[in-house]
Amino acid sequence: MKFLVLNGVNLGRTGMREKGVYGTDTLESINRGLAEFVKAHGHEADFFQSDIEGELCTKIGQAEGVYDGIVLNAGAFTHYSYALRDAIAGVKVPVVEVHMSNVHAREEFRHKSVLTEVCKGEILGFGKNSYYLALESFWL
């Protein structure tokens, strides 16, 4: 199987910002670990991060026929991006929504996701392990 791991706005600064929320691992080190994890299970993954909503939508739209699943941490786009929601709804590739923090234990505006209802599932609150759980969900 082949997966696309997408990270949205501000996640490129993981390991440098709000370490108490997101940890000290950089996105690059998280991605390296994920690449090793999927390879050890006989799969492969590509990684992409952008602070630009349209670039994420484009990647999702290009995923059909290329990827067996998408792991998406949209960051703050989660709470208001109907463009990302429509991109997810417009492809047959299953998407698992991921958050490193427990968004329900944070500010109220983070409690609502406009993406969840068009995703296969949602995993949150387990730090970088949320990504591992999301990937594993595709082959369990």
Active site residue 22: yes
Instruction: Please give the span between the terminal C-alpha atoms of the chain, in angstroms, as a whole number.
Output: 12
Mean pLDDT of the region 47-65? 98
Residue 54: which CATH number?
3.40.50.9100
For residue 105, give its domain range: 2-139
pLDDT of residue 63: 98
Among residues 67, 99, 131, 132, the one annotated as catalytic is 99
The model carries a pTM of: 0.94
Q: Is residue 132 annotated as part of the catalytic site, yes or no? A: no
Give per-residue pLDDT as tens, 61-102. Answer: 999 999 999 999 999 999 999 999 999 999 999 999 999 988
Domain count of the chain? 1
d(CA 55, CA 61): 10
